[in-house]
Structure 1
Amino acid sequence: MTKLSVNINKIATLRNSRGGNVPDLLKVARDIESFGAQGITVHPRPDERHIRYQDTRDLPGVITTEFNIEGNPIDSFIKLVLEVKPAQVTLVPDAEDAITSNAGWDTVKHKDYLTEIIKEFKQNNIRTSIFVDPDVTMVQGAAQTGTDRIELYTEGYAAAFEKGDKTAIKPYIDAANIAAEVGLGLNAGHDLNLENTAFFKQNIPNLLEVSIGHALIAESLYLGLENVIQMYLHRLK
């Protein structure tokens, strides 16, 4: 079964919009685990507009499943990850002012940079993953950095699927097959939702984990958080 890691950034966004501690991010994280999710993901940004660095420090004290920290490996992010020591760090090349992640790494151009950062994380027993587009060259380049896994950036698939174009899965299948050939674990995320996740899972070999946040939280407004998590788990079987 592919693991479901729930990104709780949107819970933090809601909390921050009014100040105070409603909703309680730590309680929501515990509840998400109790509803069956196998991981919690956060993506702290330098302006702390949703997940705060202190949230990232506090979460390991209350969650029991895998903790995944995503982000651009600027100095403050690297320091935070080395302090917290999550199960996994996912490196994402987003600009500091990005609304959301919008591209994968050029793993050929940034090979030396990524290799150095990944080496430090792995020396601290933190599993590493690189956010990449479904491009065979980028997957092969990722393998040269020493990373444990890649995370396929699925926005292109999701946008095409919404229009009824299921052929958009093809480059993701190719990327997944190459990842297996070069010994990389495979994660995926971005714009996956209740409508498109099952088809993606059914067609992508060796899919270890998906990270889903925005859609899952939005769907929960209508269907309830516990129910939605169970629906995703069913789709990922």
Structure 2
Amino acid sequence: MTKLSVNINKIATLRNSRGGDLPNVLEAALNAERFGAEGITVHPRPDERHIRYSDVYDLKRAIKTELNIEGNPIERFTELVLDVVPAQVTLVPDAHDAITSNSGWDTRTHQAFLREVVSAFKAKGIRTSIFLDPDVEMVRYAAECGTDRIELYTEAYASGYAADRERAIRPYAEAAREAVRLGLGVNGGHDLNLENLRYFARTIPGLLEVSIGHALISDAIYLGMENTIQLYLRELKGEA
């Protein structure tokens, strides 16, 4: 069974747009867990335009499921993760001004750096995942970095799903098969939604976790958070 980790960045974006503490990020995370989410994901950026570093500490103290912290391992981010010690850290090569994640790592070019970062996190007992485009070569170099998992950047799959889902998913399935062969866990995230999630989950071998934020929070505006999370879990289970 593939786990659903709910990314609550958009809750923080809404809070920050008005000031104050409404909606409350911690309450949203606890409700997501209560409604069936099996993990909480946050992606703190240097300007703290959505999730704040203080939010991460609050979440670690309160949630019962796995906390996954995503981000570019600059010094401040690395210090945060080593201090909080989440269940998982996902390394994402974001530029400081990126609106959202838009590419995976070149694990060949940055192998020495990634190996050092992965080693530091794993020494603290933190499971590591490297954000990748669906490229078999990048998977192989990721394995050489010592990571536990990869997270497949699924934007291209989501964009191509309506036109030809088999073609869109092919490189992802190939990359996942190589990851499994190399002993790596496979996660997925970015633009997965109620339309394309089921096919992705049933086609990708070894898929352990998906991290979904923007689409899920958007659906919750119309459908309610509890109902929305249950709908996403149903898609992952392949239920009618």
- TM-score bracket for this pair, using the shorter chain length: over 0.9
What's the secondary structure of 2:16's corresponding residue?
helix
Where in structure 2 are the equivalents of 1:46-61 lying within 5 Å? 46-61=46-61
Number of the residue aligned with 1:98: 98
Where in structure 2 are the equivalents of 1:1-237 lying within 5 Å? 1-237=1-237
Deviations 1:177-214 (A, max 9, x none): 00011110000000000000001011111100000000
Q: CA separation in 1, counterparts of 2:175 and 2:204?
A: 9
What's the secondary structure of 2:208's corresponding residue?
strand
Q: CA deviation at 1:162?
A: 3.2
Determine what percentage of the aligned residue pairs are the same residue: 65
Deviates more, 1:150-159 or 1:223-232: 223-232
Indicate if the aligned counterparts of 1:153 and 1:189 stay in contact, CA closer than 8 A.
Answer: yes
Q: CA separation in 1, counterparts of 2:165 and 2:194?
A: 17
CA RMSD of aligned residues (A): 0.7
Q: CA deviation at 1:13?
A: 0.2
What's the secondary structure of 2:106's corresponding residue?
coil
Q: CA deviation at 1:167?
A: 1.4
Structure 1: gaps of 5 or more residues:
none
Q: CA separation in 2, counterparts of 1:165 and 1:120?
A: 38
Q: How many residues align structurally? A: 237
Q: CA separation in 1, counterparts of 2:107 and 2:83?
A: 26
Q: CA deviation at 1:165?
A: 4.0
Deviations 1:12-70 (A, max 9, x none): 00000010000011011000000000000000000000000000111011100000000
Q: Please report the TM-score for the alignment, with normalisation by the length of structure 2.
A: 0.98
Structure 2: gaps of 5 or more residues:
none
* Aligned residue type for 1:162: A
Q: CA deviation at 1:164?
A: 4.5
Q: CA deviation at 1:166?
A: 3.3
Q: CA separation in 2, counterparts of 1:41 and 1:163?
A: 30
* Aligned residue type for 1:222: Y
Q: Please report the TM-score for the alignment, with normalisation by the length of structure 1.
A: 0.99
Q: CA deviation at 1:163?
A: 3.4
What's the secondary structure of 1:162's corresponding residue?
coil
What's the secondary structure of 2:161's corresponding residue?
helix
Q: CA separation in 2, counterparts of 1:180 and 1:138?
A: 14
